[in-house]
C-alpha cells in the first residue's frame, strides 16, 4: 500500500483531488488499483509488487491545474509527502531530458539553468524540513512552480535550436500543417487563402454518418469536403476510417455485438468502400483510431490487432501508393487503469510493429481541456517527452489532432485560465515543439471551427461565425517562419 500525504495549508495545492488520478508503474504505464482519500491522504492499493507512483491533477501557480506524476516508490506503512514527490519527479525528468537533448552547456541556456538550480535548492530545503511536513510542502510547491516554468522554457529553447536545423536540412519542403474539416462544416469555409496557413485538410469518415442502415450509405457530405479541399489548393488526408467509439459506430451494428466475425466483415467493407471511392484524391489515410482505448464491443487484444491489420491491408490494396497511419488516442493510457479490455498505447504500438502490420506512420492526438479522463492538461515537457518516446518505435509520427479551448466557460473543467490569447500561445508553442522533431511529419489541428460537434467546444481556430481567432493568425506566423529559410 502507498500513501501520499497532502497539506492544504502548505500552499497552492489544496485538498486531494482524485479526478483523473491513477496509479503508474514503469515508463508511466497505468497500473490497476484502488484510490481513495482519507484525512488529506491519498491511499493507493494495488496487487502489483513493483515500485509505483501516482498521477494526479495538481494546481501549479501560473499554469492552472496540470496532470502531474510522482516518482515511483516502494510500498511502506509511513506516508510519502506528495508535494515533495511531485517535484522530485519533475526535476528528475528535467535532468534526463537535458542530457538527452545535450543542453547542459549549450550557449544561451544559462538563464534556464539558473532557474532549474533555484528549483533544486528549494527542493533540497524541503527535504531538510522532512520533520515539518507542512513546511516541506510549502517549499516543494514553490520548487514545483519554478521547475514547471523552467521545463516549459527548456522545451521552447530546444525547439528553437532544432527547428533551425530542420529548416536548414529542408525538412519543411513537404506539407506539414493541416486542419480537420468535419462534414458538418460548410465546405465554402475553405477558400484559397487557407493555403497561406494550412498545407492539408483532414476529412473524417464517420461510419455512423455514412451508413445509417445496413443496406445503404451516403458519402455526399464527404464528397463536398474532399472537393472543397482540393479547390482551395490543399492536399487531403482521410480518416479516421475505423473507430469503434460510441460516436462512430452505426446503431444497427449493435445487434451483432456478440458476433466478432460479422462486425469484422462489416468493418472490412466500410474500409474498402471508403478507400476505393477516394483512392485517387486522398494520399494519406488514418485507417484505425483509438482501437486500443475505446471500443463499444469490448474487443480482446487479439481482435484489436486483427482489425488493425485488416484495415491497413485493405487500404494498401485499394490505394497502394497511399500512406497508412495508425492513430493513438489518449496517449498516456489513463483508461487502462480502469478497463482491462483495453491496451496501453505503447503496448498496442509495439504489437502493431511486431505483428508485421503494413503501415507507414503512427498518429497521436494531443487534445486537452475537458474535465474527463484522458483530456486533462499536460505541460510541454510531458508532451515533448512522449513524442520522443514514440519516436523510438522507428516510425514517423503524424500529430492527427491538437486542441485546447479558447474559453473556460465552454468546458466543464474551469480550473484553467483559458482565453483566446492563451489558446493561441499554446497552439504556437505546441506546433514549434512538435515540428522541431525531425520524425514528426505533420501537425493537424483537431477542428477548424468552434461548435458543439467539436471534441473541444471552443477548440477551433475559427469562431462559430467563421471569423479567425488569434490562434489562426499565430498558425500563419508559425508556418511562415518555418518556411522562411526554405525559400531563401
Q: What is the CATH number of the domain that holds 271?
A: 3.20.20.80
Among 162, 179, 208, residue at a domain's last position:
162
Pick from 231, 236, 204, 230: nearest CA to 219: 204
Bridge partners of 445, per DSSP, are 179, 402
**346 and 454 housed in the same domain:** yes
More confident residue, 105 or 282: 282
Residue 10 has pLDDT above 50, yes or no: no
Enclosing domain of residue 449: 170-487
Pick from 1-15, 220-234, 417-431: least confident: 1-15
The C-alpha atoms of residue 146 and residue 216 are separated, in whole angstroms, by 58
Q: What is the pLDDT, as a whole number, of residue 62?
A: 86
> CA angle 343-396-271, nearest 5°?
60
The C-alpha atoms of residue 14 and residue 1 are separated, in whole angstroms, by 23
287-313: average pLDDT? 96
Residue 176 has pLDDT above 90, yes or no: yes
Q: What is the pLDDT, as a whole number, of residue 11?
A: 44
Q: What is the pLDDT, as a whole number, of residue 181?
A: 87
**156 and 183 housed in the same domain:** no
Pick from 67, 135, 127: nearest CA to 370: 67
Confidence of residue 488 (pLDDT cuts 50, 70, 90): very low
92-110: average pLDDT? 94
Residue 157 has pLDDT above 50, yes or no: yes
**193 and 134 housed in the same domain:** no
The C-alpha atoms of residue 334 and residue 338 are separated, in whole angstroms, by 8
CA dihedral defined by 422, 431, 113, 378, rounded to 10 degrees?
60
More confident residue, 481 or 304: 304
**178 and 252 housed in the same domain:** yes
More confident residue, 48 or 128: 128
**243 and 144 housed in the same domain:** no
Q: What is the pLDDT, as a whole number, of residue 411?
A: 53
Confidence of residue 13 (pLDDT cuts 50, 70, 90): very low
252-270: average pLDDT? 96
464-475: average pLDDT? 92
**401 and 468 housed in the same domain:** yes
Dihedral sign of CA atoms 253, 256, 259, 262 in order = negative
366: DSSP letter = E
The C-alpha atoms of residue 316 and residue 440 are separated, in whole angstroms, by 22
382-406: average pLDDT? 96
Pick from 65-74, 276-285, 372-381, 453-462: least confident: 453-462
The C-alpha atoms of residue 251 and residue 393 are separated, in whole angstroms, by 36
Residue 392 has pLDDT above 60, yes or no: yes
Q: What is the pLDDT, as a whole number, of residue 232?
A: 87
- Contact predicate 278/226, CB 8 Å: yes
The C-alpha atoms of residue 480 and residue 330 are separated, in whole angstroms, by 30
What percent of the chain lies above the pLDDT cut of 70?
94
The C-alpha atoms of residue 239 and residue 370 are separated, in whole angstroms, by 23
Confidence of residue 78 (pLDDT cuts 50, 70, 90): very high
Confidence of residue 185 (pLDDT cuts 50, 70, 90): confident
Q: What is the pLDDT, as a whole number, of residue 347?
A: 95
Nine-digit cell at 440? 514528426
**257 and 387 housed in the same domain:** yes
Residue 415 has pLDDT above 80, yes or no: no
Pick from 14-18, 133-137, 228-232, 313-317: least confident: 14-18
Among 162, 188, 210, residue at a domain's last position:
162
Domain tally, the chain = 2
**196 and 65 housed in the same domain:** no
- Contact predicate 279/285, CB 8 Å: no
Among 162, 195, 212, residue at a domain's last position:
162
Confidence of residue 487 (pLDDT cuts 50, 70, 90): very low
**136 and 195 housed in the same domain:** no
To the nearest 10 degrees (0 to 180), the angle between helices 82-101 and 380-391 is: 50
Nine-digit cell at 156? 521552447
Pick from 8-22, 246-260, 410-424: least confident: 8-22
Phi and psi torsions of 340, nearest 5°: -75, -10
Pick from 226, 266, 216, 277: nearest CA to 244: 266
Q: Which residue has the cell 482491462?
A: 340
Q: What is the pLDDT, as a whole number, of residue 12?
A: 46
64-88: average pLDDT? 95
Residue 345 has pLDDT above 80, yes or no: yes
The C-alpha atoms of residue 31 and residue 24 are separated, in whole angstroms, by 5
**132 and 195 housed in the same domain:** no
**251 and 221 housed in the same domain:** yes
Mean model confidence pLDDT for the chain: 91
Q: Where on the phi/psi map is residue 268: left (φ > 0), alpha (ψ -120 to 50), or beta?
A: alpha
- For residue 450, the SS3 value is coil
Beta strand pairing call for 284-289 and 235-238: parallel
329: DSSP letter = -
254: DSSP letter = G
**237 and 137 housed in the same domain:** no
Amino acid at each position: 500500500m502507498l500513501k501520499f500525504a497532502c497539506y492544504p495549508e502548505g500552499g497552492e495545492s489544496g485538498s486531494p483531488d482524485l479526478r483523473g488520478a491513477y496509479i503508474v508503474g514503469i515508463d508511466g504505464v497505468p497500473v490497476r488499483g484502488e484510490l481513495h482519500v482519507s484525512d488529506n491522504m491519498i491511499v493507493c492499493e494495488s496487487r502489483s509488487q513493483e515500485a509505483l507512483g501516482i498521477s494526479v491533477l495538481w494546481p501549479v501557480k501560473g499554469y492552472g491545474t496540470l496532470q502531474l506524476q510522482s516518482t515511483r516508490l516502494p510500498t511502506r506503512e509511513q506516508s510519502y509527502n506528495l508535494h515533495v514527490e511531485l517535484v522530485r519527479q519533475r526535476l528528475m525528468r528535467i535532468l534526463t531530458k537535458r542530457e538527452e537533448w545535450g543542453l547542459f552547456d549549450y550557449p544561451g541556456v544559462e538563464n534556464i539553468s539558473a532557474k532549474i538550480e533555484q528549483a533544486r535548492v528549494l527542493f533540497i530545503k524541503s527535504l531538510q524540513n522532512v520533520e515539518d511536513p507542512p513546511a516541506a510542502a510549502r517549499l516543494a510547491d514553490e520548487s514545483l512552480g519554478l521547475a514547471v516554468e523552467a521545463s516549459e522554457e527548456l522545451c521552447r529553447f530546444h525547439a528553437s535550436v532544432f527547428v533551425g536545423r530542420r529548416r536548414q536540412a529542408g525538412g519543411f519542403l513537404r506539407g506539414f500543417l493541416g486542419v480537420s474539416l468535419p462534414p458538418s462544416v460548410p465546405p465554402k469555409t475553405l477558400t484559397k487563402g487557407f493555403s497561406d496557413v494550412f498545407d492539408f485538410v483532414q476529412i473524417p469518415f464517420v461510419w455512423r454518418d455514412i451508413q445509417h442502415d445496413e443496406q445503404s450509405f451516403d458519402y455526399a457530405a464527404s464528397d463536398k469536403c474532399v472537393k472543397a479541399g482540393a479547390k482551395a489548393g490543399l492536399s487531403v488526408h482521410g480518416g479516421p476510417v475505423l473507430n469503434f467509439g460510441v460516436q462512430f459506430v452505426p446503431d444497427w451494428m449493435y445487434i451483432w455485438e456478440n458476433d466478432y466475425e460479422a462486425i469484422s466483415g462489416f468493418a472490412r467493407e466500410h474500409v474498402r468502400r471508403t478507400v476505393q471511392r477516394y483512392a485517387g484524391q486522398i494520399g494519406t489515410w488514418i485507417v484505425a483510431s483509438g482501437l486500443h482505448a475505446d471500443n463499444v464491443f469490448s474487443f480482446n487484444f487479439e481482435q484489436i490487432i486483427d482489425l488493425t491489420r485488416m484495415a491497413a491491408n485493405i487500404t494498401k490494396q485499394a490505394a497502394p501508393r497511399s500512406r497508412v497511419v495508425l492513430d493513438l488516442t489518449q496517449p498516456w493510457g489513463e483508461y487502462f487503469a480502469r478497463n482491462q479490455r483495453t491496451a496501453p498505447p505503447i503496448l498496442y504500438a509495439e504489437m502493431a510493429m511486431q505483428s508485421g502490420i503494413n503501415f507507414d506512420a503512427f498518429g497521436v492526438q494531443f487534445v486537452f481541456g475537458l474535465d474527463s479522463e484522458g483530456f486533462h492538461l499536460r505541460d510541454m515537457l510531458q508532451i515533448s517527452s512522449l513524442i520522443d518516446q514514440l519516436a523510438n518505435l522507428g516510425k514517423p509520427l503524424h500529430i492527427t489532432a491538437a486542441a485546447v479551448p479558447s474559453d473556460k466557460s465552454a468546458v466543464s473543467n474551469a480550473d484553467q485560465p483559458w482565453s483566446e490569447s492563451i489558446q493561441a500561445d499554446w497552439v504556437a508553442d505546441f506546433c514549434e515543439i512538435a515540428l522541431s522533431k525531425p520524425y514528426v511529419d505533420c501537425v493537424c489541428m483537431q477542428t477548424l471551427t468552434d461548435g458543439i460537434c467539436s471534441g473541444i467546444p471552443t477548440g477551433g481556430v475559427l469562431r462559430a461565425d467563421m471569423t479567425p481567432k488569434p490562434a489562426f493568425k499565430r498558425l500563419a506566423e508559425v508556418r511562415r517562419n518555418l518556411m522562411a529559410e526554405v525559400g531563401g
